[in-house]
A = this chain, B = another copy of it.
Amino acid sequence: MLQISFEIDKAANILKLLGDKTRLTMMKLMDNHACCVCEFVEIFQFSQPAVSQHLRKLKDLGLVVEERKGQWIFYSVNKNNEYYSFIQPILDQLPSQDYKIKELEEKGTRINCC
C-alpha cells in the first residue's frame, strides 16, 4: 500500500518535471545526444543559470546523468534509471528535436570535444 502510494507520487513528480516545454525538449534531445549547458543556453536563449536549474531538477530525480569532459559537463538521459521504462514511451512519441542540434552545427556552436 505504501509502495503503491510511493509509486504514484514518484510518477507524478516525474511527469511534473516533463510537463515543462523547456525540460521536455531537453529530455528529447538528451535521449539521443549528450548535451552541455552552453548548448542549451544557445538553443533556448535563456540565461545559463536557468538552464542549470532545469538540469539540476532532472538530475535530482535521477532522470539524467552528467559527465565532465574538460571544461564542459555533458548531460544525457539516464537509461539505467528504474523509471526509464516509464519515460521512454513518452519521449518516443515526441517529434524529433534534432533540427535544433543541426542549427547549432550550422552556427558552429555545437560542442564536440570527444
- Provide the bound-state CA to CA distance between A3 and B11, in Å: 28
For A14, A16, A20, which residue has the most chain B Cβ atoms within 10 angstroms?
Answer: A16
Check A20–B11 contact: CB distance below 8 A. no
A residues lining the B interface (CB < 8 Å): 1, 3-4, 7-9, 11-21, 24-25, 28, 85-86, 89-90, 93-97, 99
Check B21–A19 contact: CB distance below 8 A. no
Q: Is the interface of A mostly helix, strand, loop or mixed?
A: helix
- Provide the bound-state CA to CA distance between A62 and B45, in Å: 32
Contacts A19-B17, A20-B12; A7 near B94 (Cβ below 8 A): yes
Q: Which of B3, B18, B95 contacts A19 (CB 8 A)?
A: B18
